[in-house]
Amino acid sequence: MSSNFSVASLGTPRIGPRRELKAALESYWAGRSDATALTETAAGLRAANWARQRSRGVTVIPSNDFSLYDHVLDTSVMVGAIPERFGWSGGRVELETYFAMARGREGQAVAGGVAALEMTKWFDTNYHYMVPEFAPDQSFSLVSEKPIAEYLEAKVLGYETRPVLLGPVTYLLLGKAAGMDPLTLLPGLLPVYEEVLRRLAAAGAQWVQIDEPCLALDLDVRAHDALRQATAAFARTAPGLKVMLASYFGPFGGNEATVLDLPVAGLHLDLVRAPEQLPLLREAPRGLTLSLGVVDGRNIWRTDLSAVLDRLMPLVGARKVEFAPSCSMLHVPIDLDLETDLDPDVAAWLAFSVQKMDELATIATAFAKGRERVADALAASNQAVRTRYASAKVNDPAVRRRTASVDAAMCRRPSPFEVRRRAQQERLGLPLYPTTTIGSFPQTSEVRKARSAHAKGAMSDVDYDAFIAGEIEAAVRWQEEIGIDMPVHGEFERNDMVQYFGEQLAGYAFTRHGWVQSYGSRYVRPPIIFGDVSRPAPMTVRWSAHAQSLTRRPMKGMLTGPVTMLQWSFVRDDLPRAEVCRQIALALRDEVVDLEAAGLAAIQVDEPAFREGLPLRKADWAAYLDWAVECFGLATSGVADTTQIHTHMCYSEFNDIIESIGAMDADVISIETSRSRMELLEAFVSYRYPNEIGPGVYDIHSPRVPPVGEMVRLLQKAAQRLAPWQIWVNPDCGLKTRRWEEVRPALLNMVAAARRMRAAT
Ligand code: GLN
Ligand code: ZN
């Protein structure tokens, strides 16, 4: 292939086609296997990744994109940013310390164990990284030679790779440095990076990929200076080592002028998220090698190859280019060929990491040898595009007519909150400080066993239904017994809060092996929204109505909200996200109305992913928040004043979105507050949030049973800031990951705490 056109991969999935890494990690953590076994599995996965990429025509193969847990954590270990509490005293970082940073340590010696690093979302993806923690006197040194070792490991196997490093500026900006600007640590950090680059160069590396995805964010001059300093230092230290600077997930925006001026040999452009950067092919400095991210690394749709060629061919000219996915393929499943159960029509529209490499190879061949050489591949791509856009499975005129007829009145409750509140008070007759939970009860091994037996056909529908009915009945009886004012049915029938609904909606497809890393050894299989979404039949009415029939207390119906349904799926790329969300909202609206008709006086519509939908740049926030609020309203406004709408969000920062939370106008919102000791309420207090709030008083992330007094104190804090009638008493989140042995005493204590509050009023 002509050397002007190469095929690059910015990174591949680490988990293995059959989730081999998860199995190896969990067995190691459980003490069933030793470090050697884990290390061998990891090396095997790396070798397989390199082989797979080469066999698919990738010519620029990455190394050091692998991680046992997380690449940001790897970077912290590489530079020796290991907080004191992990007891590291220099030298090699053992696996035990590495995993303690990732997962915490429950040592006997230290009361309460050692807390893991915090975890948070990687930009706007569903991948979570371990947040670097910097001490005020943080120093850095080269502690792990992983990048060099993996480069050499590949070399021995016959692969000349381009090592990937998380860039120093993004690394610092992602970290937490109590009370100071993390960028002030750059001078101390750069020498470590320089040493890594020197060693890579000495080992024979010709290129290194430095990821600075912070370039997709709004950056100030200090960050620009930091990028200049860093790249200048690299150029000085390892002049022979070429740097491919990679940013993704959005355009450079206001960072563009700075970027184009940096002393690097190559620049990666995410042309999927930022097609407006295409003119850079003409405008970027001539000698710069451009990596063109033309295949979506974040989504699973087949690329329209002819369209890509039409767009690129007039622009590339004599420039050296690499054809690449828009970002690391970490975010997509590995191989579509493993999917044997997908509807063949839908499967024909998809490409996972392996198929994406094929697409890139096709593009490169078309450039090097002409389109005729790849005529078959182009014809297949054209055919897939045509059938997808024309398919009756994708286009449902009834759905389109319905979304087109949505008006503002459908997106808000007819009466103001004050009126609804009185109507609901009268109907529900709840005491002050009413108690409830967030929805799920423990998913015990019996529940999971029954579900998997039923899925495999080993348990009949009748037996499974009887089992679920029994679980619900026991949960309802127990809630009555301990005095929960607004019980829930417990969600025993649900495998997952998105999948359960997606499986019952038209327009959704599910994979068998389409796992994507969420964090560490936790992988998810996001549903695929391929077509117009509608609800062929009620989804939750049967179990909610059954639960309500067992008690006179008001049962709370339980749904996953439209934004969360969207956010945790692979979403079609031929419609605006807002429009897809509207379709889901309408389907949920029907469900809400049906639940009301079935006698449910309260319905909770969970939106835990509401905040994470926020775009990377502030300028884009308002547009998102507008349609997100509108869709929540659309889903929940079809009911009478007497029906109480709840929502739930399991986090934290509300300050910058509190007006939108207000505009959602749920009658009750439950939020996570117990870990922050009610500080999170501040946003609601200063906004004078007018509706009811359930600030979580029980931290469900810990097996600990909170004593009554502790919950009373939290509620007292809340009562200093809110009116007593506004306050609900509930845990932070659903209880599905806890055991009944923890949940029973904790909820007993919670009810006792509510009673004490009532007695004191
Ligand atoms: N109703 C869901 C549950 O209790 C909410 C889960 C969530 O917020 N992530 O499990
Ligand atoms: Zn939650």
Tally of CB atoms within 10 A around 449: 13
- Closest of 157, 254, 272 to residue 214, by C-alpha: 254
**300 CA distance to ligand 2 middle (Å):** 27
Please report the atom of ligand 1 found closest to the CA of residue 736.
10
Tokens representing residue 542 in the block = 């049967």
DSSP H or E stretch at residue 305: helix 305-316
- Closest of 439, 405, 450 to residue 556, by C-alpha: 439
Please report the atom of ligand 1 found closest to the CA of residue 608.
8
**553 CA distance to ligand 1 middle (Å):** 21
pLDDT for the residue 673? 83
**Residue 733 annotated as binding site:** yes
Placement of tokens 């002007």 in the chain: 4
Per-residue pLDDT tens digits for 40-55:
999 999 999 999 999 9
Mutate to test the pocket of ligand 1, among 499, 556, 588, 606 (most ligand atoms within 8 A of CB): 606
Tokens representing residue 168 in the block = 């120093």
Mutate to test the pocket of ligand 1, among 559, 564, 733 (most ligand atoms within 8 A of CB): 733
Nearest ligand to the CA atom of 733: 2
Look up residue 106 and give its DSSP letter: -
Kindly report the protein residue whose alpha carbon is nearest to atom 6 of ligand 1.
Answer: 734
**430 CA distance to ligand 1 middle (Å):** 23
* Catalytic position from the list 331, 546, 646, 701: 701
Please report the atom of ligand 1 found closest to the CA of residue 734.
4
Tokens representing residue 13 in the block = 């999935």
**Residue 669 annotated as binding site:** no
Tokens representing residue 496 in the block = 């997952």
The amino acid occupying position 56 is R
**Residue 612 annotated as binding site:** yes
The yes-or-no answer on residue 701 being catalytic is yes
- Closest of 569, 562, 699, 696 to residue 636, by C-alpha: 562
CA of residue 470 relative to chain centroid, distance: 34
d(CA 640, CA 609): 26
Please report the atom of ligand 1 found closest to the CA of residue 604.
1
**Residue 242 annotated as binding site:** no
Please report the atom of ligand 1 found closest to the CA of residue 439.
4
pLDDT for the residue 1? 44
Burial class (CB in 10 A: 0-12, 13-18, 19+), 393: middle
Tokens representing residue 608 in the block = 């835990």
Look up residue 371 and give its DSSP letter: G
Please report the atom of ligand 1 found closest to the CA of residue 438.
4
- Closest of 470, 478, 525 to residue 503, by C-alpha: 525
Instruction: Bin 692: left if φ > 0, else alpha if -120 < ψ < 50, else beta.
Output: beta
**364 CA distance to ligand 1 middle (Å):** 46
According to DSSP, the β-strands at 602-606 and 570-571 are unpaired
Would you call 679 helix, strand, or coil by DSSP?
A: helix
Kindly report the protein residue whose alpha carbon is nearest to atom 5 of ligand 1.
Answer: 734
Nearest ligand to the CA atom of 736: 1
The amino acid occupying position 320 is K
Would you call 227 helix, strand, or coil by DSSP?
A: helix
Kindly report the protein residue whose alpha carbon is nearest to atom 1 of ligand 1.
Answer: 439
**Residue 20 annotated as binding site:** yes
Burial class (CB in 10 A: 0-12, 13-18, 19+), 214: buried
**658 CA distance to ligand 2 middle (Å):** 18
Please report the atom of ligand 1 found closest to the CA of residue 733.
8
Placement of tokens 């406004």 in the chain: 637
Nearest ligand to the CA atom of 737: 1
Look up residue 706 and give its DSSP letter: -
Contact 753, 432 (CB under 8 A): no
**491 CA distance to ligand 1 middle (Å):** 9
Burial class (CB in 10 A: 0-12, 13-18, 19+), 184: middle
Mutate to test the pocket of ligand 1, among 126, 437, 440 (most ligand atoms within 8 A of CB): 440
**512 CA distance to ligand 1 middle (Å):** 23
**Residue 356 annotated as binding site:** no
**Residue 121 annotated as binding site:** yes
Kindly report the protein residue whose alpha carbon is nearest to atom 9 of ligand 1.
Answer: 608
The amino acid occupying position 554 is P
- What do you get for the CA distance between the two ends of the chain, in Å? 80
Residues of the chain with confidence (pLDDT) below 70: 1-2, 107-112, 652
**Residue 280 annotated as binding site:** no
**450 CA distance to ligand 2 middle (Å):** 25
Kindly report the protein residue whose alpha carbon is nearest to atom 10 of ligand 1.
Answer: 734
Per-residue pLDDT tens digits for 96-122:
999 999 999 875 455 567 889 999 999
pLDDT for the residue 105? 85
Instruction: Determine the number of helices (DSSP H) and then strands (DSSP E) in the chain.
Output: 27, 22
Nearest ligand to the CA atom of 700: 2
Ion ligand 2, residue ranges at CB < 5 A? 608, 650, 733
Q: How far is CA 390 from CA 7, 384, 496, in A?
A: 31, 10, 31
- The ligand 1 site (C-beta within 6 Å) comprises 438-440, 491, 497, 558, 606, 608, 648, 650, 733-734, 736
Mutate to test the pocket of ligand 1, among 441, 486, 488, 497 (most ligand atoms within 8 A of CB): 497
121 pairs with which residues across the strands? 128
